[in-house]
Amino acid sequence: MAAPLIFGDTEIAFLQELIRQKVDFMIVGLSAAALQGAPVVTQDVDLWFRDLADPGIARALKKVKGAYVPPIGTHPPMFAGKGVNLFDIVVHMHGLGDFDQERRHTLGVPLGRFKIPALKLERVMVSKKATGREKDKLAIKVLNDAIKAIRQRELERPQPRMNNGRWRGSTQNEGLQSDANPR
């Protein structure tokens, strides 16, 4: 599954630089759902970091001329700058475990030569249910339908098989890669 063109060149450069810097992060929320094919709309891309103090974040921001704005009072931390204004920083996911627990529930979504970690649809739905906000309740049915459609597509896809020591029936060994974070 290729990442939809929701990112401009600067956003792609920032995400790729986070990966180059080996920053532990994942895309969460409806943006993660959209990257997996769910027909949803969102105004931003939620990024959840294992450690906001990771120096790789500052290096990635510098590369795209962005800046980190620390939390002030009740305002959460955020990014500033043209290349990162699409991204929101998430510090907690309702209804889910901590970052390390949820990391095993990610998959790599192709973005150029890289794969960006995105929280699986099922976990996005768990979080949406836990928030209880009206806008999240509206998204739950769409997410549930998307999960069913993706599962159906997977069942209908020809399964790769081993023949003379080589995988057959799949052009890129799809389905054989781990769903673990691609690091």
> Domain locations in the chain?
9-158
How far apart are the C-alpha atoms of 39 and 61, rounded to whole Å? 30
Residue predicted with more confidence, 87 or 9? 87
Annotation: CATH topology of 9-158: Beta Polymerase; domain 2 (3.30.460)
Q: Is the pLDDT of residue 131 over 60?
A: yes
How far apart are the C-alpha atoms of 74 and 76, rounded to whole Å? 6
Q: Is the pLDDT of residue 62 over 90?
A: yes
Q: How confident is the model at residue 164 (pLDDT cuts 50, 70, 90)?
A: low
Q: How confident is the model at residue 163 (pLDDT cuts 50, 70, 90)?
A: low
What integer best gives the mean pLDDT of the chain? 84
pLDDT at 161: 66
| 6 within 8 A of 34, measured Cβ to Cβ | yes
Q: Is the pLDDT of residue 159 over 80?
A: no
Average pLDDT score over residue span 66-73: 94
pLDDT tens digit sequence for 98-128 = 999 999 999 999 888 889 999 999 999 999 8
pLDDT at 172: 44
Strands 25-28 and 78-80: unpaired
Strongest mean pLDDT among 8-12, 75-79, 173-177 = 75-79
pLDDT at 168: 58
pLDDT at 84: 94
Average pLDDT score over residue span 64-88: 93
pTM above 0.85, yes or no: no
Average pLDDT score over residue span 64-91: 93
Average pLDDT score over residue span 48-68: 96
Q: Is the pLDDT of residue 169 over 60?
A: no
Question: Residue 110: which H helix or E strand, with range?
Answer: strand 106-111
